[in-house]
Structure 1
Amino acid sequence: MALTSSPEQPQPLGRVIGAVKDWVSRCGEIWVDAQVVEIKRRNAPTQFMTFRDRIADMSCQVTASTLVLDAAGPIPEGSRVTARIRPRVWDRNSTLSYECLELRVAGEGRLLAQLEQLKRKLQAEGLFEAYHKRRLPMLPRMIGLVTGKDSDAERDVVTNVERRWPGARIRIRHALVQGADSAESVMTALAGLDADPEVDVIIIARGGGSLEDLLSFSDEGLVRAVHAARTPVITAIGHERDFPLVDFVADHRASTPTDAAKHVVPDHAAETAGVTQTLERLRRAVDGLLSHQQHQLDALRSRPVLVDPTRSFDAHVERLTLLRHRLEAAVDRCLRSEESDLRSAVSTIRALSPKRTLERGYAVLVDEHHASVSSVADTAVGSRIHAYLADGQLALDVADVTDGAS
């Protein structure tokens, strides 16, 4: 029922807002097709989003509980969604907003959400960790190739591998690369090459395509098969912007089949040029080393000691002669000093010897028993004593004994 009013009888604003709220609430719930252009997540029970019409330039603010938003799974901004909403008018500021009661990702966005959920699951299991990645062989004996029969990807890989390394060997296993059975077909081909002992590396190649075309390369079974393979695996699926899940478990991800060929074998021309350059550098290094060693050898040979090995003895002979002269002079000085000391000692000895005393007129007296007579008490009158003189001896008889005191 419409409200009546006039300048004399206006309606209260709150009553008008309440009426609008009542009218809006009668619209009830409705499913809408829209695009999510913004999601404002916060640590609160209510989350805010912005929906926009996919055709007309119209947008609105939408609220949703955290449970509703989480139940929809990952929703990248720009995703197409189908939402069950109802309009609401807030009493305090009379603003109009929409409450989302249920949210579903639609179209390609739904596929992206499913892939994102699978990606998070596999990532949580550690399948994407870098330590699982194996190094590619520098020059494989045999290259395994899984690709579609007569496809552009097969032609690109084979042509570029043969151009880069003409002697390369390729073993091809054709598989379905699109459709319901493509994942199983690729897994079968991969298992056959992985069991081949001659195959050192495997390339899984496919040309570009839409998200649905590449969906089989995000199959969980195929992803786990690539992760479990014993042989290093290179994936070349789609283009640079395409990232199927198998790329995350491969040992190396190539942006295109041509890029895969660049990583699996070296460039023969570049390697030949590199070897030639390295040989030239090695030759120059060896020549430089030999020249340096020859220069050192010439320097050693030009030294005087090698030109005339006996020349170094001349200085030693001169020094030896000088030392010998100094030694002889020292010996002479020592002998003269010792001779002088000896002469002095001899003179002293001679001056103190009994013989010198006898030469001065003294005599040494002894009795008949050759005992020294040094006192008158040592003899008696009538005794015979012997007197030793400088030139002989005398036998004397004592005729008188006189005491020196008397």
Structure 2
Amino acid sequence: MDGFDGFGHHPGYDSSDMERWAAEPDKRPGRTAFQRDRARVLHSAALRRLAGKTQVVTPGSRSYAWDASPRTRLTHSLECAQVGRELGAALGCDPDLVEAACLSHDMGHPPFGHNGEQALNDFAKDCGGFEGNAQSLRLLTRLEPKRFVRGPDGEPVSVGLNLTRAALDAATKYPWPRGGHPTDPGSPKFGAYEDDLPVFGWLRSGAPGQRRCFEAQVMDWSDDVAYSVHDFEDGLHAGHIDPNVLFAESERSEIWAVAIGRYVPDDTDPEELAAALDRLVDQEWWPHGYDGSAVAQARLKDATSQLIGRFCLDAEAATREAYGGGRLTRYGAELVVPRTTRNECAVLKAVADRYVMQRDEQERLRADQRIVLAELAEALTARAPEGLDPQFRALFDAAPDDRARKRVIVDQIASFTDASARTLHNRLSRRS
């Protein structure tokens, strides 16, 4: 099932879904609108920069015991896209549309992962805050230079990649502005800054309230599946996770403490999580006694495939049971993931969190990263437009007030890789 009828049409989608903020002709007739979306994301500089941004372990660090690089935001996005494309196609979504959403969902994340996100949010608290998903929308619709239109005064104005409405909606994990969470107004998660509300309102045209479209739900579950399984795989491979400790009651209690409230609801019974872990370790393919040998590595790779298949097939079966056959697209369905499956996924996240992210050396590194970004933000604020790339220098010069100029500095820092943030920080620090 490829979601394309051979004539440029997308079964299950209408002309509104394929509309772009700025109308433009197709240079290659016969190619679908969603194929164009996918190609634009795949060839973007913002996607390439994810190769130098932290996923869990900092790229280039030697904390890994094995002779390979840890996963980055880019490799995670590629793996998420593969999971999402197949799951989406199985449920009737256009696969190129889901893949474009998966590839772009982390584009707005700054250097140093979620640690960098928190540091930038502190810096930007008086100009609208910082949120990686809202930054992704800003990149897709404003910052990534691909398409320009004429502004009111005839000057060129960027419309980013100018993706279709359906693609932007599919990439929107949190379809509300800051403070607009449907049940928790204080939630730090949101999908659009105040500056970007016009295009956000356009892409959400026709959406029922704050519901996520079906493709965004597929993207979100694919994201959960990819990072839970692969972070667990990397933790085992690096020697940070000992599979034998998963049987010790004292260790299990610590895992449940990490999971409850962060990865599962506060009212989750630890016995549910124990049952979820037991179901996984009871599987024939579970990587018992992992020792890093070639045979063990192959067995671990098979286990990751089994886990991804298990989580996706469970969601596919439950969703089909609820909605039957046919194409499930846009707002015609909700992705159904059984609670037992979500618990299994959450247990893997909690194991990686406990044994990889909570290591002492990682906390020391995160503290250093927060200092780097705070000092870099302070130095750029004092010197700007010095230190800004030409693109952001022009935006800084054109900004109407201090609030807008500060947002440009935030945009610049968010675009850096881990290495480029440290390089500029070192250069500006030497000049202080």
**TM-score normalised by structure 2 residue count:** 0.19
* Higher strand proportion: 1
Largest Rg, 1 or 2: 1
Using structure 1 for the length normalisation, give the TM-score.
Answer: 0.20
Q: Relative to total residues, which structure has the larger helix share, 1 or 2?
A: 2
For CA contacts below 8 A with separation 6 or more, give which structure has more relative contact order. 2
